[in-house]
Amino acid sequence: MLFSRISRIRSTGSNGCRWFLSHKPHLQFLNPPAYSYSSTHKVLGCRENFSWGLPALHGFRHNIHHQSSSLVEEQNDPFSLVADELSMVANRLRLMVVTEVPKLASAAEYFFKMGVEGKRFRPTVLLLMATAMNISILEPSLRGPGDALTKELRARQQRIAEITEMIHVASLLHDDVLDDADTRRGIGSLNFVMGNKLAVLAGDFLLSRACVALASLKNTEVVSLLAKVVEHLVTGETMQMTTTCEQRCSMEYYMQKTYYKTASLISNSCKAIALLGGQTAEVAMLAYED
C-alpha cells in the first residue's frame, strides 16, 4: 500500500490530499519542478529494493521458485508484515502508562488493553514507513536486520509509533468528553465509565508520558514536529466546534480542519520516522506528503 503510493510520488495526477497539502505554505517547494531526479530515484530505489528487503527484515525464507498463494497474500498484507512489531508496540504502550495511583493507572491503560487497541492503523503505517525509509541509508556492508545500527534505528522508530498512538488515544479521550460520547471501540467510553474528570486527566497523563518518550529520542526537530501536531489537534477540534454557517459551506475550511484534526498526526509522524532514519529534508517531506 504505502510502497505503491511512494512510486506515484512524481505522478502529475492529484488526489484530494495533494490538493489540500498544496495549500500549506511550508510545502510550496513540493511542487513537481522542485523534485530532483536523484532524490526521486532514491525513493523509487527504496521501492525497488522492498521486495527483497522486507522478507530479510522479517526472517522470511523467500523462495522465488515456490510462491504459494498464501505466502504472496501474507507478503501483500501490510498488517502481517509488521504483526510482530505491532505486538511489541502494544506491550510497550501498556508498560509506558503504568503509574502508582490506581484510578489513574486503570484510566490510562483503558484503551491499551488487549482487544481494545483499535485498528492500529497509525503504528502499521509508521512501521511500514520505517522499512521504506531505512533501506537506503546504511552502507550495504553494514546493513541487515540483525546489526546493532539497524536495530537501534528501528527501536527509535518504534518509539515514534508508540508516541503517535499515545497522542491519538489522548485526543480521543478528550474528544469523547467534548462529544459526551458513551461508546468508543465497541466498549463504554472512558468518560462514560469513569467520568469526565478522570477521562480528561487520563488524556493529560498520556500526553505527558508521550512527551517523556519524545524527549528521550533527543532529536529537537522530531520533538518540534510532534509538539506542533498537538497544537494542530487542538486547533482542528476548536475549528470544528466553532464552525460558522458560512464556513460549513467552505471546502477549504473543511480540508484545513480535517488536516489539523486527522492528517497532521500521521503525516508528521511519517516525517519523524524519515528524519530519525537520517533521510534528507526532501525525502522527509515526501514521507510527510504521501
Scanning 10-18, 124-132, 228-236, 248-256 for contacts with ligand FPP by CB under 6 A, the matching segment is 228-236
Rounded least distance, CB 210 to ligand FPP, Å: 9
Distant-in-sequence, close-in-space partners of 78: CB < 8 Å, separation ≥ 6: 1, 2, 124, 125, 128
Q: What whole-number distance in Å separates Cα of residue 268 and Cα of residue 284?
A: 9
Q: Which three cell numbers stand for residue 48?
A: 525497488
Angle 108-113-119 from CA coordinates, rounded to 5°: 105
Q: Which does 156 bind (CB under 5 to 8 A by kind): ligand FPP, Mg ion, none?
A: none
Indicate which single residue of 237, 256, 266, 270 sits in contact with ligand FPP (rule: CB under 6 A). Answer: 237
Q: Please give the residue ranges that form the binding site for Mg ion (CB under 5 A).
A: 175, 179
184 DSSP β-pair partners:
187
Which of 175, 214, 275, 284 lies at the binding interface for ligand FPP (CB under 6 A)? 175
Q: How far is the CB of 230 from ligand FPP (least distance, A)?
A: 5
Determine the residue with CB nearest Mg ion.
Answer: 179
Residue 109 vs 175, nearer CB to Mg ion: 175
Which of Mg ion, ligand FPP, none lies near 134, with the C-beta cut-off 5 to 8 A by kind? none
In this chain, which of 170, 190, 214, 225 binds ligand FPP, going by CB under 6 A? 170
- Bridge partners for 187 per DSSP: 184
Partner in contact with 282, chosen from ligand FPP, Mg ion, none, beta carbon below 5 to 8 Å by kind: none
Contact with ligand FPP (CB under 6 A): which of 123, 261, 279, 287? 261
Q: Which of 174, 209, 232, 257 binds ligand FPP (CB under 6 A)?
A: 174
Which residues lie across from 183 on neighbouring strands? 188
Can you tell me which residue has the cell 466553532? 242
Of 44, 83, 230, 239, the residue at the interface with ligand FPP (CB under 6 A) is: 230
Say whether residue 209 binds ligand FPP (CB under 6 A): no
Quick one: how many helices (H) and strands (E) in the chain? 16, 2
The count of other CB atoms within 10 Å of the CB of residue 126 is: 27
Which residues are registered as beta bridge partners of 79?
none
Nearest to 157 by CA among 112, 132, 124, 126: 126
**Residue 207 interacting entry, from Mg ion, ligand FPP, none, C-beta within 5 to 8 Å by type:** ligand FPP
Query: CA–CA separation, 122 vs 140, rounded Å?
Result: 29
By CB under 6 A, is residue 53 in contact with ligand FPP?
Answer: no
Q: Does 266 bind ligand FPP (CB under 6 A)?
A: no
Helix or strand run (H / E) with residue 279: none
The C-alpha cell at 219 is 532529536
| Contact set with ligand FPP (CB under 6 A) | 167, 170-171, 174-175, 178-179, 203, 207, 230, 233-234, 237, 261-262
